[in-house]
Amino acid sequence: MTTGFNDFTPIRNGEAIPLSSVSHLPFDEFAAQALGIIANGGKVVQFFAYPADGKVRLMAVLRSDALFVATCDAPERYPALSVHCEPFHLFEREIAEQYGIRPEGHPWMKMVRYHANCRGVEDIFGNDYAEDIPGNYDYYQVSGEEIHEVAVGPVHAGVIEPGHFRFNCIGERVLNLEIQLGYQHRGVEELLLQADPGRLPFIAENIAGDTSIGHSLCHAQAMEALCGSAVDMGAKRIRTIALELERIANHVGDLGALSGDVAFLPPANYCGRMRGDFLNMSLLLCGNRFGKGLVRPGGVRFALTDEIRLDLSSRIDDLKPQVDHVLALLMNTPSVLARFEGCGRVSRDDAEKLGLVGPAGRACGLPYDVRRAFPTEYYDRLDIPENAESTGDVRARAKVRCDEVMQSIAIIESLLGDATETATALRPEGCPASDSLVVTLNEAWRGELSHCVLTDHRGGMLRYKIKDPSFHNWNGLSMSLRDTGISDFPLNNKSYNLSYCGFDL
């Protein structure tokens, strides 16, 4: 596809560039060209504000078949891009909350995480943050005698993260689901600016524990680019194996949860057990079931010895037919399909507008996968199949997961086939380059994960921006629930399995 003419600067995934080489446009040009790229099929990767020489700037990182970046000075108020272009929606709310910059005419202007802005200017939402969340959250309401509201959360029924769901229903049919988050805001982005450099990898891998490898990779790649560190091929193989193990464990767990939600207990239990087996492979590799402590700037902290490699191979050989059989059982059972098919549909058009990523997007026919589009680590040597489905329902989201599980198992099998040598005694890195920008993308198991790091004139952190795939996909869940029975909410919720902590940061 062609993006047409624009002044945005092309960049590459995981490469640091001087901030001065990024196009700086007048706001009107910046907005018009960004909208033009999106209108021609592009998508928003990052859109955020950052401080620059006592002022505030906006930066947009967009993708089509390549990555583009540009900046502009941030007006105190500007005509909202969301009015013309849905993908900017949540980013504009976030900028308003973080920096107090007002997008005029924004159609859904509400808090994202419920915290004061960092400039100390008047709060866009009129909140006093000494008061409890939700403050002035203007919940969407539907009028009518037959309408009722169902409020769920923040503390949910099971062992699950907190968030607030509010359904407007007529009878059992959901007219709208509003999702209000922010309960788990721990100030990650600010902490990354202030903490000692030695702590950064630990903060990064704890952004979302089920995506520890994904976030560690984005962080490590950013630091490697800024410091000019090279990563050897062995480390890349190990990091790729770890990311695929993370993908498998989570997908298998989700398929088990979906099975449990339709009361099909055998696969629910088997998947729950097998997920543990995959987590135990990460435990074998680095001593932590979630891969914490494995990925570090410069490479990996633990080697893949032949003993461990052969043990992992053996475990994969044992598990592969079991996984295949259990997933076949789940996906071939008529009563399961009756519940999955047609449930929570999102059309391809809506998915495009919302900017859905990962399995949620692929279920709607959007084949985008960072491993294929902007490969990192070892992925440029691997064939990543397109896993697009077309129906956009629970069955499609489950099917994408099933396919990816088997593909990831095959990837790991191939990567474990040969001995892998890597350095593991990581030296302290050099100083990050000053006045620089690096954007890293990885296909975490939920989809496109991105870190964007800006350094100041001393090489210190100027801005550390994190975009979890759930940032795009929460609106997909809301869309899935429209005109759906409220009793289908748990099934749809698990078919997305979005990250609360990755969103709340």
Partner 1 sequence: MLSVLKNRLEQGCRTSRYPKETVELPPRYRGRPEIDAQAPADLADACAAACPQAAIDASARTIDMGRCVFCGTCERVSEGRFVRFTQDYETAVAEKSQLVTRGELPDLAAHSRQHFKKLFGRSLQLRQVSAAGCNACEADLNVLATPFFDLARFGINFVASPRHADGIVVTGPVSRNMKTALMQTFEATPEPRVVIAVGSCTLSGGPFRGSPEITEGLDTLLPVDLFIPGCPPHPMTNLHALLSFFK
User: Which residues of the shown chain bind partner 1 in the complex (CB under 8 A)?
Assistant: 113-115, 132-133, 154-155, 157-162, 182-188, 190-191, 194-196, 198-199, 202-203, 205-210, 212, 253, 266-267, 269-270, 272-273, 275-276, 279-280, 283-290, 292-293, 301-302, 321-322, 325-326, 328-329, 332, 499-501, 504
Give me the least distance between CB of 200 and partner 1, in Å please: 9
Give me the least distance between CB of 309 and partner 1, in Å please: 14
Give me the least distance between CB of 395 and partner 1, in Å please: 18
Give me the least distance between CB of 405 and partner 1, in Å please: 16
How buried is residue 124: exposed, middle or buried, by Cβ count under 10 Å (0-12/13-18/19+)? buried
Give 485's DSSP letter.
B
Between 329 and 388, name the residue whose CB sits nearer to partner 1: 329
C-alpha angle 139-163-147 in degrees, rounded to nearest 5: 40
CA distances from 423 to 14, 217, 230, 237, 290 (A): 21, 17, 11, 12, 22
d(CA 430, CA 414): 34
Between 98 and 184, name the residue whose CB sits nearer to partner 1: 184
Between 111 and 439, name the residue whose CB sits nearer to partner 1: 111
In degrees rounded to 5, what are phi and psi of residue 429?
Answer: -75, 165
Looking up tokens 């005698």 gives 145
Strand duo 299-300 + 9-11: pairing: unpaired
Between 48 and 270, name the residue whose CB sits nearer to partner 1: 270
How buried is residue 120: exposed, middle or buried, by Cβ count under 10 Å (0-12/13-18/19+)? exposed
CA distances from 20 to 24, 423, 434 (A): 9, 35, 11
Give me the least distance between CB of 291 and partner 1, in Å please: 10
Between 121 and 195, name the residue whose CB sits nearer to partner 1: 195
Q: Residues with Cβ < 8 Å from 338, sequence gap 6 or more? A: none
Between 121 and 155, name the residue whose CB sits nearer to partner 1: 155
Give me the least distance between CB of 299 and partner 1, in Å please: 14
d(CA 16, CA 434): 10
Give me the least distance between CB of 286 and partner 1, in Å please: 6
Half-sphere exposure of 399 (CA within 13 A, CB side): 21
Between 183 and 379, name the residue whose CB sits nearer to partner 1: 183
